[in-house]
Amino acid sequence: MTGRKVTANISLTLDGRYNGPGGPADLGAIVPYATTEVGRNHLSRITDGATTALLGRLNAQGFMGFWPSVAEDGNADPRDRGYAKWLVDAEKVVLSTTLTEAPWDRTRVVNAPTADVVAGLKTEAGGDILVNNSASVIKALLAADLLDRLYLIQCPEIAGGGARLFEDGLPGSKWTLTHLETGELGEIAMIYDRTR
């Protein structure tokens, strides 16, 4: 093992959901907090030490359709550009059962269980492995107790429906709060490190 940490970032509502009752595209309770000072500071923090982006297929398609243009946009917030440039330049590993080859540079597609992919990545040289907003990947890593750090933004809204990140049946685990920042809209950015 190389000592690479596995980190994950996601935003959740007060009732623990990463989307609303309308399904994956229902982000009305999440999106307003992504462009706040706290949200953008959080975005610039999640890539610290990371050299690999681990993504699910749907997230990869959405991200690679959006972020590369931000990397080139001189009018974009510098924190957004920083994340965009990181994503474009980083090694990307996309988990997919349907893609056979990657349409993006510096990307490989893998059709294998998440835990196996992460075990392989941890034997390779590099910095930390970041899962940004790919809920299916984060859930698999939580179930296998393979996450070392959680970057969370708690959005001050109750969605009342939608998908939850922390479902029943996860193995018990203890986490240490290592960063806390509260925004003007009531959003809270947190970093939790796994206590082992």
**pLDDT reported for residue 46:** 97
What is the residue-averaged pLDDT of the chain? 95
Q: How far is CA 92 from CA 87, 89, 189, in A?
A: 8, 9, 25
**pLDDT reported for residue 186:** 97
Question: How does pLDDT run across 140-152, given as a tens digit for each residue?
Answer: 999 999 999 999 9
**pLDDT reported for residue 134:** 95
Distance CA(91)–CA(24), nearest Å, equals 26
Residue boundaries of the structural domains of the chain:
6-195
Q: Which CATH architecture does the domain made up of 6-195 adopt?
A: 3-Layer(aba) Sandwich (3.40)
176 exposure class (CB count in 10 Å sphere: 0-12, 13-18, 19+): exposed
pLDDT-flagged residues of the chain (< 50): none
**pLDDT reported for residue 10:** 98
